[in-house]
């Protein structure tokens, strides 16, 4: 697939970032104004401490700064992501990171000053002032983390260190997306195929095993040549997490990151335990894949290609749009109207281009439409990625529409639920309409691969991440060899005896961007489990389930994420959602075994 320069991409296939700022000059004006206002905000230090009634005025100003920062950040970061080689947006992206740190330092006094009052004093203030009561949930969250909040001077120091803390993620992103260059894939017949980070997966899905093997060995050979660099970058990320956890007196980095969403650590441990128990089902699926592909040895480069070669068809973007809208019909007309808006009115940056950030995401701010970054490659997985990211975007739309800015975001723990629920609806729609045995095998394989990639693989990532952070906390060596051996052993544990022990896969951890957002990935697996449950309820119960689900989508941060999911009908503090999802995986494996 040809990878174009950014300037050669059709405008209609790009996102409309001009709707945020018509030009860079307007961005610069807002940046300068916000920088000035952040300095002015710092002068409010001491106001709350002197008078509890100042809480709402200070918080109004605080959230006003962050709302403006979000708008600036979304524009700069997404401009950078569309072409990471563009020096203009490299500079703007770096500037916004620095401004975020300045605002963090300027506002570091807010929480310590609020927490200088007792719970009883704050409750009394809420009764006396309606606007203080509006911030009651925010104050409650602060009280929950009171023992981990430092005095104003120390909070300011930690905030000022934020620029340094972001360095590992920034370095990784530039190295992987801008500076990393790969040799061509060279096949036995002498054919040369260009390889980039964003096109790697499309090669791994190729029906030609030589192409898959070539891509796999070429990519990981190149990454391995920089293994010590990647290890140093990731080691820095582990150490900054350890530093903040220790500074805030958390028992571990994991405890600190889960506390933000008030998620018990038992949820994480229950996930690992449940998936470990289900690994024999994963081994059965690996054995089926080996049988259907007809290979003597199954390699890691064989796990992405469809096992029914005849169904390896392509989907033009217009076709993908119709598939998405058809699958989302159970959600009702209101939901569908927003999906149509996104598909037709440049919410989406569709195709890969040189220098574009790999992968996909949904983003936006309170004062913009949602936006979606894709690297669409016309395969079925790309269609699923489209409906996945549209789920994120519509979740954000409803949350922003229903909530004031201070409560309009939603926690990471629920971030993957709406997106994955959309994927489940698409798969159900495709399976429902399929009568052809080969097509059904193909779809079952795709569904099983979704479980493999999200519930099993992300749990494996979560286990690697927990072990790596534990090593860091214990002062154990975090060399490239130690991290790679750790990852290799986990890979062998999760894929089982029918998978060959390809040494190259030991380096996969080096290219996973989510590891730079500590303790994020487990939520893909828990979110997937919740989504399976919610999609089943929507399809079975219809409007009542949709109405409950819409309440969840509109909830923002008005409740803790676990309580929002309970409102929608799923209790993640129990093992049931994960166990039910794994039981469905077992049923799908059995059906595929019978068909092949």
Residue 445: band (very low, low, confident or very high) from pLDDT cuts 50, 70, 90: confident
At how many degrees (to 10) do helices 576-595 and 522-541 cross? 80
Question: Which of the listed ranges 160-174, 310-324, 541-555 does the model predict with the highest average pLDDT?
Answer: 541-555
Output the average pLDDT for the chain. Answer: 94
What is d(CA 594, CA 437) in angstroms, rounded to the nearest whole number? 11
Biggest CA–CA distance in the chain, Å, is: 80
Q: Which tokens go with 297?
A: 């040895």
Which of 205, 389, 463, 575 is catalytic? The answer is 389
pLDDT band at 309 (very low <50, low <70, confident <90, very high): low
**229 close to 243: Cβ distance less than 8 angstroms:** no
Distance of alpha carbon 260 from alpha carbon 392, whole angstroms: 20
Measure Cα distances from 390 to 328, 385, 397, 420 in Å.
11, 8, 10, 10
Query: What distance in Å separates the CA atoms of residue 552 and residue 558, rounded to the nearest whole number?
Result: 10
DSSP 8-state symbol, 176: I
Helices (DSSP H) in 433-542: which residue ranges?
437-451, 457-474, 480-495, 522-541
Task: Provide the token pair at 516.
Answer: 């730079």
Angle at 386 between CA 385 and CA 392, to 5 degrees: 90
Classify residue 118 by burial, with Cβ atoms within 10 Å: 0-12, 13-18, 19+: exposed
More confident residue, 577 or 484: 484
Going by C-alpha positions, the residue among 366, 369, 361 that lies closest to residue 344 is 369
Q: 187-232, pLDDT tens digit by residue?
A: 888 889 999 887 898 899 888 999 999 999 999 999 999 999 999 9
Question: Which distant-in-sequence residues (6+ apart) come within 8 Å of 89 by Cβ?
Answer: 76, 79, 80, 82, 83
Q: What does the alpha-carbon distance between residue 103 and residue 67 come to, in Å, rounded to a whole number?
A: 12
Asked if 512 and 490 count as a contact pair (C-beta separation under 8 A), the reply is: no
pLDDT digits (tens, 9 = 90+) for 97-118: 899 999 999 999 999 999 999 9
User: What pLDDT score does 580 carry?
Assistant: 87
Characterise 355 by phi-psi region: left (phi > 0), alpha (psi -120 to 50), beta (else): left
The C-alpha atoms of residue 467 and residue 462 are separated, in whole angstroms, by: 9
Half-sphere exposure of 204 (CA within 13 A, CB side): 18
At 121, is the pLDDT very low, low, confident or very high (cuts 50, 70, 90)?
Answer: very high
Contact 16, 346 (CB under 8 A): yes
By DSSP bridging, strand 348-349 and strand 371-373 are parallel
Cα-Cα end-to-end distance for the chain: 32
Domains of the chain: 6-163 (1.20.140.70), 166-345+379-596 (1.10.1370.20)
Q: Return the top range by mean pLDDT from 129-143, 199-213, 294-308, 571-585.
A: 129-143
- The pLDDT-based confidence of 1 (bands split at 50, 70, 90) is low
Closest CA to 185 of 164, 216, 154: 216
Lowest mean pLDDT among 42-51, 438-447, 480-489, 501-510: 438-447
* pTM, 2 dp: 0.80
From the list 176, 211, 169, 175, the residue with the least C-alpha distance to 194 is: 211
Q: Is 29 a catalytic residue?
A: no
Q: For residue 152, is pLDDT > 90?
A: no
For 82, 254, 279, 465, the CA distances from 233, given in Å and listed in that order, are 23, 19, 32, 15
Tell me how crowded residue 188 is: count the other CB atoms within 10 A of its CB: 7
Q: Mean pLDDT check: name the lowest of 2-11, 51-60, 315-324.
A: 2-11
């Amino acid at each position: 697939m040809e990878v174009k320069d950014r300037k050669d991409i059709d405008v209609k296939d790009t996102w409309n970032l001009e709707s945020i700022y018509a030009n860079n000059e307007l961005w610069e004006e807002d940046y300068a104004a916000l920088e000035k206002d952040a300095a002015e905000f710092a002068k409010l230090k001491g106001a709350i401490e002197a008078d509890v009634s100042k809480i709402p005025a200070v918080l109004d100003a605080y959230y006003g700064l962050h709302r403006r920062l979000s708008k600036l950040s979304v524009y700069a970061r997404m401009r950078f992501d569309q072409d990471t080689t563009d020096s203009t947006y490299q500079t703007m992206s770096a500037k916004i990171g620095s401004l975020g740190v300045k605002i963090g330092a300027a506002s570091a006094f807010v929480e310590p000053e609020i927490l200088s009052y007792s719970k009883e004093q704050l409750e009394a203030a809420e009764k006396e002032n309606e606007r203080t009561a509006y911030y009651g949930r925010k104050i409650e969250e602060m009280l929950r983390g009171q023992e981990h909040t430092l005095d104003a001077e120390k909070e300011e120091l930690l905030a000022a260190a934020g620029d340094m803390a972001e360095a590992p993620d920034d370095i990784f992103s530039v190295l992987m997306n801008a500076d990393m260059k790969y040799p061509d894939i060279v096949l036995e017949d002498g054919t040369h195929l260009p390889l980039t980070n964003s096109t790697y997966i499309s090669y791994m899905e190729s029906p030609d095993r030589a192409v898959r093997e070539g891509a796999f060995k070429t990519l990981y050979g190149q990454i391995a040549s920089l293994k010590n660099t990647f290890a140093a970058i990731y080691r820095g990320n582990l150490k900054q997490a350890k530093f903040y956890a220790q500074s805030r007196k958390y028992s571990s980095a994991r405890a600190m990151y889960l506390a933000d969403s008030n998620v018990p650590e038992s949820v994480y441990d229950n996930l690992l335990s449940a998936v470990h128990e289900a690994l024999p089902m994963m081994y059965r699926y690996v054995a089926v894949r080996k049988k259907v592909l007809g290979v003597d040895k199954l390699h890691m480069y064989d796990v992405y290609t469809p096992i029914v070669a005849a169904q390896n068809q392509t989907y033009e973007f217009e076709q993908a749009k119709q598939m998405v809208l058809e699958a989302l019909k159970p959600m009702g007309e209101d939901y569908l109207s927003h999906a149509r808006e996104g598909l037709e009115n440049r919410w989406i940056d569709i195709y890969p281009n040189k220098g574009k950030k790999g992968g996909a995401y949904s983003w936006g701010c309170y004062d913009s439409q949602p936006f979606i970054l894709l690297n669409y490659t016309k395969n079925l997985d790309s269609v699923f990625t489209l409906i996945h990211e549209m789920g994120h975007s519509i979740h954000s739309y409803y949350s922003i529409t229903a909530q004031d800015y201070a409560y309009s975001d939603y926690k990471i723990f629920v971030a993957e639920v709406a997106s994955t629920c959309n994927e489940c609806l698409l798969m159900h729609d495709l399976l429902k309409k399929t009568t052809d045995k080969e097509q059904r095998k193909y779809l079952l394989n795709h569904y099983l691969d979704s479980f493999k990639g999200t519930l099993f693989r992300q749990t494996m990532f979560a286990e690697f991440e927990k072990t790596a952070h534990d090593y860091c906390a214990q002062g154990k060596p975090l060399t490239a060899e130690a991290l790679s051996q750790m990852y290799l052993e986990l890979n062998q544990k999760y894929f089982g005896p029918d998978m060959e022990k390809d040494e190259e896969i030991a380096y996969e951890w080096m290219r996973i961007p989510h590891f730079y957002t500590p303790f994020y990935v487990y939520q893909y697996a828990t979110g997937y489990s919740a989504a399976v449950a919610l999609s089943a309820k929507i399809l079975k119960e219809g409007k009542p389930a949709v109405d409950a689900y819409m309440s969840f989508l509109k909830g923002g941060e008005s409740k803790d994420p676990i309580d929002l999911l309970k409102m929608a009908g799923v209790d993640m503090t129990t093992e049931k959602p994960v166990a039910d999802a794994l039981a469905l995986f077992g049923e799908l494996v059995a059906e595929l075994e019978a068909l092949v």
